[in-house]
């Protein structure tokens, strides 16, 4: 049994359009329905890092909001830790970082986390220790006593992440945890997520940043227009071999290398080294033999594996209309 289970979750948002006319009120019932989620069935195992990926409007936030009890599903069911949604005993054991968090910004980082600790009923001493550890972990110790209104976007995201971990949750839901963060901040978030897994926690997050997801996810689900297009381990989803080869050579005569340009998929020069992509194995060998024979050195040769980004584009492209 999964720690997070959804069974044919469906969400249809309905908006009534109210038209007012001068002097009289006219209510127009138009059929403004958005099917944000269609029959989503997922089974997340304990201790897993699961990435829910998809383009804008795919239904990622909707999924997380339903799981958090912020929105109700139109149909279908879900269970967290084996209990139906809304179970109070579960709420205290999960953490949540919303998308684009907006917090009461007159509080300092410390006061903000202390407030959450109090909501969870943590004693003062435990709160203090936890806040210190979390601020350190998210790189905000220096800003503990500054009000949140003076925080940058990335700092708000970091303090939000700390907030989601205040109660030492067993499952952490993170909606775009890396948004607004610089590369260093993204690496820190990745490390935090990995350390959560080491502690046996389950992490369910949504992301647009595919390279980050690729580095940490045990499994990913690709959502497109509310439908789960695929779900699985990256190793299963991604083509292990694209048939392309990538190599880097050093000390090669420019004329010798340029000779091959027309037959290579890509060729660029980086500080004197040549980086090339070739679509055929035999041709790759021929080129390497040639340039090495002319005094060049082979620095690396690797078969090109499909990246999550390649896969994502393959799945989603052409389906936008």
Ligand X SMILES: Nc1ncnc2c1ncn2[C@@H]1O[C@H](COP(=O)(O)OP(=O)(O)OP(=O)(O)O)[C@@H](O)[C@H]1O
Considering only residues 59 through 98, tell me which ones interact with Mg ion, judged by CB under 5 A: 60-61
Ramachandran angles phi, psi of 40, nearest 5°: -80, 115
Q: What distance in Å separates the CA atoms of residue 165 and residue 127, rounded to the nearest whole number?
A: 12
Nearer of residues 170 and 214 to ligand X, judged by Cβ: 214
Least CB distance to ligand X at residue 13 (A): 3
Q: What distance in Å separates the CA atoms of residue 178 and residue 161, rounded to the nearest whole number?
A: 10
Nearer of residues 10 and 141 to ligand X, judged by Cβ: 10
Number of residues located near ligand X, criterion CB under 6 A: 13
Residue with the shortest CB distance to Mg ion: 61
Rg (CA), the chain: 25
Nearer of residues 9 and 162 to ligand X, judged by Cβ: 9
Nearer of residues 167 and 207 to Mg ion, judged by Cβ: 207
Q: Which one of Mg ion, ligand X, none interacts with residue 54, CB within 5 to 8 A by kind?
A: ligand X
The one-character DSSP state at 307 is: P
Q: Is 202 in the site for ligand X (CB under 6 A)?
A: no
Q: Is 10 in the site for ligand X (CB under 6 A)?
A: no
CA angle 189, 194, 196 (to 5 degrees): 95
* Residue 68 contacts residue 206 (beta carbons within 8 Å): no
Least CB distance to ligand X at residue 91 (A): 21
Q: What distance in Å separates the CA atoms of residue 272 and residue 269, rounded to the nearest whole number?
A: 6
Least CB distance to Mg ion at residue 58 (A): 8
Least CB distance to ligand X at residue 196 (A): 22
Q: Which one of Mg ion, ligand X, none interacts with residue 284, CB within 5 to 8 A by kind?
A: none
Query: Which bin fits 305, alpha (ψ -120 to 50), beta or left (φ > 0)?
Result: beta
Residues 6+ apart with CB under 8 A from 2: 42, 43, 44, 45, 46
The one-character DSSP state at 235 is: H
The residues pairing with 155 across neighbouring beta strands, listed in sequence order, are: none
The CA-to-CA distance between both ends of the chain, in Å, stands at 37
Other CB atoms within 10 A of residue 296 CB: 19
Nearer of residues 260 and 311 to ligand X, judged by Cβ: 311
Considering only residues 50 through 109, tell me which ones interact with ligand X, judged by CB under 6 A: 54, 56-62, 99
Nearer of residues 59 and 117 to ligand X, judged by Cβ: 59
Nearer of residues 61 and 167 to Mg ion, judged by Cβ: 61
Considering only residues 16 through 45, tell me which ones interact with ligand X, judged by CB under 6 A: 34, 36
Q: Which residues contact ligand X by CB under 6 A?
A: 13, 15, 34, 36, 54, 56-62, 99
- Interface residues toward Mg ion, by CB under 5 A: 60-61, 99
């Amino acid at each position: 049994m999964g720690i997070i289970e959804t069974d044919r979750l469906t969400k249809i948002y309905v908006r009534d359009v109210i038209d007012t006319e001068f002097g009289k009120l006219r209510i127009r019932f138009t059929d403004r329905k958005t099917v944000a989620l269609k029959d989503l069935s997922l089974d997340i195992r304990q201790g897993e890092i699961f990435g829910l990926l998809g383009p804008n409007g795919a239904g990622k936030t909707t999924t997380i909001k339903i799981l958090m009890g912020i929105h109700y599903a139109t149909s279908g069911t879900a269970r967290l830790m084996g209990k139906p949604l809304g179970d109070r005993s579960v709420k205290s054991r999960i953490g949540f970082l919303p998308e684009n968090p907006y917090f009461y910004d007159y509080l300092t980082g410390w006061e903000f986390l202390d407030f959450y600790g109090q909501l969870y009923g943590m004693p003062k001493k435990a709160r203090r220790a936890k806040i210190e550890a979390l601020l350190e972990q998210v790189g905000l110790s220096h800003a503990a006593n500054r009000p949140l209104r003076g925080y940058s976007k990335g700092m708000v995201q970091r303090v939000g992440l700390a907030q989601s971990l205040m109660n030492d949750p067993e499952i952490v839901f993170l909606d775009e945890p890396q948004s607004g963060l610089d590369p260093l901040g993204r690496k820190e978030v990745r490390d935090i997520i990995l350390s959560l897994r080491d502690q046996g926690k389950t992490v369910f997050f949504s992301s647009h940043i595919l390279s980050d997801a690729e580095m940490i996810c045990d499994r990913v689900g690709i959502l497109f227009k509310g439908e789960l297009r695929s779900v699985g381990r990256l190793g299963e989803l991604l083509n292990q071999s694209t048939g392309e080869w990538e190599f880097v050579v050093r000390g090669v005569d420019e004329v010798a290398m340029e000779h091959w340009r027309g037959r290579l998929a890509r060729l660029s020069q980086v500080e004197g080294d040549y980086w090339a992509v070739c679509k055929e194995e035999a041709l790759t060998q021929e080129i390497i033999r040639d340039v090495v024979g002319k005094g060049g050195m082979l620095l690396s040769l690797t078969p090109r594996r499909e990246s999550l980004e390649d896969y994502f584009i393959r799945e989603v492209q052409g389906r936008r209309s």
